[in-house]
């Protein structure tokens, strides 16, 4: 007895999240059901079976609940876009991919700053010290010469799984250095501190190495800077590097 390989109509729903979990995409693939019938053939010496599709069945419509279940199975609970769900439900295409959810990006923090309200002959918009020699040459009673802007702590974001997202987003190759103040305040025989700028310079010059090598090379560089001069404060450092 020969039977045809009929197929049932189906709908596949697949939810994929971006690596940072800030976006979720829904992939919908609809498959028609097909029923085949054997076709009569003329008498011949060899057996030849021919089947032809005689019925194509549309899959059942996608329900809102089906989409929500697919999202929940992937842990997507935040930033779900209702219009995207309706598009997925109503679209008649065989395959469709829609962005179904978007997270809330974090607001980055900002350092405190000073806004200067005066100019002089040495002033330039790119200068760190906008009044050149550090002197205010003219000021009126009650005049506000500068305004201190407080630091902005920023706000955490939320990814599509509902988890908080830090304002600091590290990428491959980024380096984070933790250190005690004994490092930047390390003195050499000339009573000169290492300082943040010199430390940043040393860190950048060793950025191509892995974390353990960076520590080793920083210790060597520090030793060359301070020489035999005795230090009165402890020096501790930890290096993290994003490898992938």
Q: Give a yes or no: residue 134 inside a domain.
A: yes
Residues 174 and 199 in one domain: yes
**What is the DSSP code (8-state) at residue 62?**
P
- Is 83 part of a structural domain of the chain? yes
Out of 121, 150, 179, a domain closes at: 150
Q: Please indicate, yes or no, if residue 164 is contained in any of the structural domains.
A: no
The whole-model pTM stands at 0.58
Q: What tokens were used for 9?
A: 């109509």
On whether both 188 and 244 belong to a single domain, the answer is yes
Same structural domain, 139 and 96: no
pLDDT of residue 154: 84
132 lies in the same domain as 206: no
- Are 126 and 176 in the same domain? no
Beta-bridge partners for 165: 157
**What is the pLDDT, as a whole number, of residue 118?**
59
Position 175 scores a pLDDT of: 92
| Structural domain includes residue 67 | yes
Q: Are residues 136 and 62 in the same domain?
A: no
CA separation for the pair 12, 97 (Å, rounded)? 12
Whether residue 132 is found in the same domain as residue 211: no
Collapsed DSSP state (helix, strand, coil) of residue 221: helix
The pLDDT tens digits along the chain (244 residues) read 667 788 888 889 999 999 889 999 999 998 888 888 877 767 767 766 777 888 888 888 889 999 999 999 999 999 999 999 998 888 877 888 999 999 999 988 887 888 777 554 454 544 455 444 555 666 778 878 788 889 888 888 999 999 998 877 778 889 999 999 999 999 999 999 999 899 999 999 999 999 999 999 999 999 999 999 998 899 999 999 998 7
- Which pLDDT belongs to residue 88? 86
What pLDDT does residue 135 have? 59
Number of compact structural domains in the chain: 3
Residue 157 lies in a domain: no
Residues 18 and 71 in one domain: yes
- Same domain for 91 and 34: yes
Task: Indicate left, alpha or beta for 74 from its phi (over 0: left) and psi (-120 to 50: alpha).
Answer: alpha
22: left (phi over 0), alpha (psi -120 to 50) or beta: alpha
163 lies in some domain: no
The verdict on 52 and 96 lying in the same domain is yes
Which structural domain, as residue segments, surrounds residue 193? Answer: 170-244
User: Does the residue 137 lie in any domain?
Assistant: yes
Q: Where does residue 214 rank: exposed (0-12), middle (13-18), buried (19+ CB within 10 A)?
A: buried
DSSP state, 227? T
Within a domain: 193? yes
Same domain for 75 and 27, yes or no, is: yes
Q: Within this chain, do residues 119 and 98 fall inside the same structural domain, yes or no?
A: no
């Amino acid at each position: 007895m020969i039977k045809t390989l009929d197929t049932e109509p189906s709908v596949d729903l697949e939810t994929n999240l971006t690596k940072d979990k800030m976006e979720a995409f829904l992939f919908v693939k609809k498959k028609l059901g097909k029923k085949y019938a054997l076709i009569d053939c003329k008498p011949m010496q060899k057996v030849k079976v021919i089947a032809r599709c005689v019925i194509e069945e549309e899959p059942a419509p996608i329900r809102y609940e089906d989409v929500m279940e697919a999202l929940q199975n992937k842990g997507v609970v935040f930033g779900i876009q209702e219009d995207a769900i309706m598009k997925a439900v109503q679209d008649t295409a065989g395959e469709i991919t829609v962005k179904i959810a978007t997270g809330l990006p974090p607001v980055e923090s900002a350092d405190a700053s000073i806004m200067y309200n005066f100019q002089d002959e040495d002033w330039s918009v790119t200068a760190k010290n906008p009044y050149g020699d550090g002197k205010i040459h003219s000021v009126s009673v009650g005049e506000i010469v500068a305004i201190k802007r407080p630091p902005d702590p920023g706000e955490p974001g939320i990814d599509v799984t509902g988890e908080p997202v830090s304002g600091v987003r590290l990428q491959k190759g980024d380096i984070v250095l933790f250190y005690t103040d004994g490092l930047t305040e390390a003195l050499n025989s000339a009573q000169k501190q290492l300082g943040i700028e010199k430390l940043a310079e040393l860190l950048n010059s060793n950025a191509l190495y892995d974390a353990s090598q960076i520590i080793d090379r920083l210790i060597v560089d520090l030793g060359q800077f301070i020489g035999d001069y005795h230090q009165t404060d402890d020096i501790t450092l930890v290096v993290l590097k994003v490898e992938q």
